[in-house]
Structure 1
Amino acid sequence: MNHRHIHFIALGSAVGTGLFYGSAGAIQAAGPSVLLVYLIGGAVMYFILRALGEMSVRHPVRGSFAVYCREYLGGFGGFITGWAFAFEMMIVCLADLTAITIYMKFWFPGTPAWVWITTTLLIIGAANLANVRMFGELEFGLTLIKVGAVVAMIVGGAAILAFNLGPNPEQMGVANLWADGGFFPNGVSGMAASFILVLFAFGGTEIIGVAGAEAEDPDRSIPKAVNTVPARILIFYVLSILIILLINPWRSITGEDSPFVQIFDTLGVTWAAGLLNVVVLSASLSAINADLFSTGRVLAGLSKEGLAPKVMGRTYRDVPVMTVVMLLLALVVGVYLNTKFPDIFETIAALATFATIFVWLMILFAHMASRRQMTREEQQTLKFPVPLWPIGQWFSIFFILFAFGTMVWLPEYHVALAVGVGFLVLMSILYFVTGRPQAVANTEVEYAAK
């Protein structure tokens, strides 16, 4: 993949249904202070990606952060990180597949869900099995749709504010940021609750490190992609949420309609619901496409490290074909179970938030361990060093631990916490039962022999 592909993968990874629909939940939890939460979450995400970027430029390998965790934290670190990421991505894929069937009912209410599921899996499967460039082109096109929608909303919202459009112009303005309960209307607990939602909205951006291993010129592509993160956070999240809050008092953003539909409705765009349906459909397709790509590469990397079955490491034209096929079959089974037992994934899906921030924490730990193994001269010759070392890393670790603490504090996250801890315990047992420590040792011997 060239720089254009890597840049748009980085651009699209943090723009999805979490922004188009999930932002309403974060606004209700924190009120106007959600802007501050997005800024903090964006800073955390930036330092994580810079850590991943530093390691990727220094040592570009397939499997990316799972391989780095194995190399710097040991076999168990790589195993638990890679499988936590894979499980998280499969859950998100299942959720997006279910969402696609709901979106398509908007136009074809009588068509069975399996038709859209099959169509989606055929499209995504073909893109992932063909070659890396086809995946990049599909992700490029889907990202254009998502980004175009956000830009249109920002421009349209700015026009509403500039020309006092809409039925209630007296309710618009900067005063919305403090008029109803102040900037922190729900206090610390509200901000803490929204922090979990905001961090999860940024989930998936770590795919930059996975995609970077497929780049034609990782030394150039990865730094440029990672360095776009601050601007992306400010434009696509902070600016768009700010405009939404300036137009609508925060209590009116209930989540019954997407805040983006409200903007277009105000502009008199009667087909706003249909437009947003196209956008969220592309967002879900993009998410499944990227999740399947990154999971396949991570599991293939784990296989070569002795941390997954060997069959997952087999490739054809540099594509981990067997892993992608197995993941597609797992999605088919998951969708079938979801149709038979509609509530079966509700509890498990809560793990996605836990797994996301757990993977980020492991990336930070691996990066700090990598720095400890470098000499002063090696640190000084790094091509893409992390800024503000080590302050930025400790800042990010603190807020991720704060997020875990929030899950302990707030009852609504107890299920996610319990399921997450249970998953880690189960995978820890499997690590030793399946003989992975010896497999890792044998792999290291093979590497040394080469």
Structure 2
Amino acid sequence: MNTTDGQPAKAHTSEVPDPARKSGDPAPAGSLRRGLTARHIRFMALGSAIGTGLFMGSAGAIKTAGPSVLLAYIIGGAAVFMVMRALGELAVRNPVSGSFSAYASRYISPFAGFLVGWTYTFEMFVVALADVTAFGIYMGFWFPDVARWIWVLAAVLFIAALNLISVKVFGELEFWFSLIKITAIVLMIVGGIAVIIFGFGTQSEGAAGLSNLLGHGGFMPNGLWGFVASFTIVMFAFGGIEVIGITAGEAKDPGRVIPQAINSVPVRILLFYVLTLGVIMCLQPWNSLDGNTSPFVAVFDSLGIPAAAHVLNFVIITAALSAINADIFGAGRMLHGLAEKGQAPKSFTRTSRGGVPYMPVVAMVAALLVGVVINALFPDQVFFLIAALATFATVLVWLVILIAHVRMKREVARGGLEPSAFPVPWWPAASYVTIAFVIAVLALIAIVPDTRPAIYVGAGWVLLLAAWYWLSQRRRAGSNPVN
């Protein structure tokens, strides 16, 4: 087996580059600095599950599936856990810059690495567009007369400045953002349960309770199709969680902190999605949520608790800023990794004295300014189309991660290599079931009328990348003729 540059691969887990470099050491030119501690990555893992997909996207998922959306989040969350375990096994075995792009290049093909790297960057761009759009919507709760694009521009510039300082600043910011979100979610669950039990703020006896999950058309009010169609929105909520793998190149102890972060995924999904949305739909019937505003704010506002609605809106704004922060971080590190392999402009390998790849960050911010224009021109239609595009990019990235992991496991078995320190559970059956599920979600995006345009854009994106890769390979071959 050869690596992507044609050199023989090392037959052990000693593939890790510069493992001894400490966070306080000067970053060599063009290299990233290991400045993310266990605390940073643990809270990034927690915070990555609480963002626009939960606070805003869940409204559309509830409208589509009704209470059965809880089952959709459980199934989707199980698939996400398997994707993260696959990525975790790859990352612990070889924690590198560029993460799953490097794994796809090595275990599938150089084009697969090129495809997944640029598609992930596209995903982060699209998800960031959704996040800045949601940020503008949330600010409209307080300032309805201010144009949304003004808030979008302010958010982009603020987060860009923070990302250009150092990875440690990024980690600290994510820590505090995540702490705010997690605390608020837990308090909201406790408060919601109190309302259900004691009836605080309800307009009539029994207005809030478990009966709301079954009393308005049943658990699956829109039928099996409504439940199945909700996966096109549900999976968007988990998009970006793979940023944990991106941190491998800048984690101080990836072999310890990445497994800890990934193993917390099931608890996060049950707590932050299933329990939280279950409480919301017990507080207010699912069919009274209009799908256009955050169900979190709408529920507490309708229950006559305006102060809680304002506090939750602040938390949601924090979640959006946190997500934008992680989006720019993930895209910047991926572009840096692509540039190191010659699959992106060489200027993207340049780093600041703090070890930040500043050119990819600047490029990502410049691209996000497109979001300002989109929000100015199409303020009412932009969010859910962006969400569909993000879902396509997300599941395509997950599919490549899963295939790369299968190829890696086969290579380890064939070569008699040392077993992985963090193997996936229930191998190989669960991995193949997850691959089938991800392919089914891609098919759903093509079938559901509201999300079908995302498939057209996504297919065009893949064809564009294929043409770009083919042309670049021909150009390289022409500039290096064989004697």
TM-score (norm 1): 0.91
Task: Write the distance in 2 (CA, Å) between the matches of 1:333 and 1:254.
Answer: 28
Structure 2 residue corresponding to 1:251, chosen from 287, 293, 309: 287
Q: 2:446 aligned with 1:381, yes or no? A: no
Greater shift, 13-22 or 73-82, is seen at 13-22
Superposition deviation, residue 22 in structure 1: 2.0
1:136-189 per-residue CA deviation (whole Å, 9 max, x = no partner) reads 011111112222221121001111122233223324333333333332222221
Amino acid across the alignment from 2:120 = F
- Note if 1:398 corresponds to 2:433: no
Tell me which residue corresponds to 1:433.
Answer: 471
Structure 1, 84-93 or 95-104: larger mean CA deviation: 95-104
Whichever structure has more helix as a proportion of its residues is 1
15-24 or 225-234, which deviates more? 15-24
RMSD: 2.5
- Provide the C-alpha distance between the structure 2 equivalents of 1:355 and 1:304, rounded to a whole number of angstroms: 23
Aligned 8 A contact 1:99 1:284 in 2: yes
Instruction: Return the match for 1:285 from 295, 298, 321.
Output: 321
Match of residue 449 from structure 2: 411
Moved more, 399-408 or 420-429: 399-408
Residue 190 in structure 1 maps to residue 226 in structure 2: yes
**TM alignment of 1:184-223, pairs within 5 A:** 184-223=220-259
Q: 2:186 aligns with which of 151, 176, 185?
A: 151
Matched, 1:163 2:198: yes
Give the letter aligned to residue 127 of structure 1: L
Say which of 216, 223, 232 aligns to 1:180.
Answer: 216
Q: Cα gap change, 1:126/1:394 in structure 2, threshold over 3 Å: closer, same or farther?
A: same
Give CA deviations for 1:99-121 in whole Å, capped at 9, x if unaligned. Answer: 33343344455666665445433
Give the letter aligned to residue 367 of structure 2.
A
* Structure 1 unmatched ranges of 5 or more: 443-450
**SS of equivalent residue, structure 1 residue 179:** coil
1:335 aligns with 2:335: no
Work out which of the residue numbers 157, 162, 165 in structure 2 matches 1:127. Answer: 162
Distance 1:399 1:335 in 2: 35
Q: Which residue of 2 aligns with 1:101?
A: 136
Structure 1: which amino acid aligns with 2:364?
L
The AA in structure 2 aligned to 1:399 is F
Query: How far apart, CA to CA, are the structure 1 residues paired with 2:133 and 2:215?
Result: 39
Report the secondary structure of 1:216's partner residue: coil
Distance in 1 between residues matched to 2:233 and 2:222, nearest whole Å: 15
Instruction: Find 1:367's aligned residue among 392, 395, 405.
Output: 405
Quick one: distance in 2 between partners of 1:329 and 1:262?
Answer: 34
Residue 299 of structure 1 contacts residue 312 of structure 1 at CA under 8 Å; is this kept in 2?
Answer: yes
Aligned equivalent of 1:90: 125
Note if contact 1:153-1:263 (Cα within 8 Å) is conserved in structure 2: no
Residues 327-336 or 286-295, more deviating: 327-336
Alpha-carbon distance between aligned partners in 1 of 2:57 and 2:387, rounded to the nearest angstrom? 15
Q: Deviations over 1:342-373 (max 9, x none)?
A: 68967666321111111111110111111111
State the match for 1:141 in structure 2: 176
Evaluate the alpha carbon distance shift between residue 344 and residue 412 of structure 1 in structure 2; reply closer, same or farther with a 3 A threshold: closer
Total equivalences in the alignment: 441
Q: Which residue type is aligned with residue 198 of structure 2?
A: F
Determine which of 48, 51, 69 is the counterpart of 2:86. Answer: 51
The equivalent residue for 1:447 is none
Residues 112 and 299 of structure 1: CA distance in aligned 2, closer, same or farther (over 3 Å): same
Post-superposition CA distance 1:362-412 (Å, at most 9, x none): 110111111111137866631111111112211211111111222233222
Is the 2:148–2:379 Cα contact (8 Å) retained in structure 1? no
| 1:343-358 map, 5 Å | 350-358=388-396
Q: Give the whole-Å Cα distance in 1 for the aligned partners of 2:379 and 2:266.
A: 39
Aligned to 1:62: 97
Alpha-carbon distance between aligned partners in 1 of 2:226 and 2:369, rounded to the nearest angstrom: 38
Shift of 1:418: 1.2
Cα distance change of structure 1 residues 31 and 391 upon mapping to structure 2, 3 Å threshold: same
Q: Secondary structure at the match of 2:306?
A: coil
Residues 256-267 of structure 1 correspond to what in structure 2 (within 5 A)? Answer: 256-265=292-301
Structure 2 runs not aligned, ≥5 long: 1-35
Number of the residue aligned with 1:25 = 60
| 1:171–1:345 distance in 2 versus 1, CA, 3 Å | closer
The CA distance in 1 between the partners of 2:144 and 2:287, in whole Å, is 32
1:193 deviates by 1.1
Which residue does the alignment assign to 1:37? Answer: 72
Say whether the 8 Å CA contact 1:156–1:267 is kept in structure 2.
Answer: no
Deviation of 1:9 (Å): 0.6
Alpha carbons 1:76, 1:437 under 8 Å: kept: no
Partner Cα distance (1:344, 1:309) in 2: 34
Partners in 1 of 2:67 and 2:224 — Cα distance?
13
Q: Following the alignment from structure 2 to structure 1, what is the Cα–Cα distance between the partners of residues 81 and 231? A: 16
Query: Counterpart amino acid of 1:414?
Result: R
The one-letter amino acid of 2:91's match is S
Match of 1:11 in 2: 46
Q: Deviations over 1:80-105 (max 9, x none)?
A: 11111111211222233233334334
Shift of 1:266: 6.3
Report SS of the residue matched to 2:450.
helix
Under a length normalisation based on structure 2, what TM-score does the superposition of the two structures give? Answer: 0.85
The alpha carbon displacement at 1:70 in A equals: 1.0
Give 1:445's aligned residue.
Answer: none
> What is the rounded CA distance, in whole Å, between the counterparts of 1:438 and 1:297 in structure 2?
25
Contact 1:30–1:185 (Cα < 8 Å) also in 2: yes
Instruction: Please give the alpha-carbon distance, in whole angstroms, between the structure 1 residues aligned to 2:376 and 2:116.
Output: 30
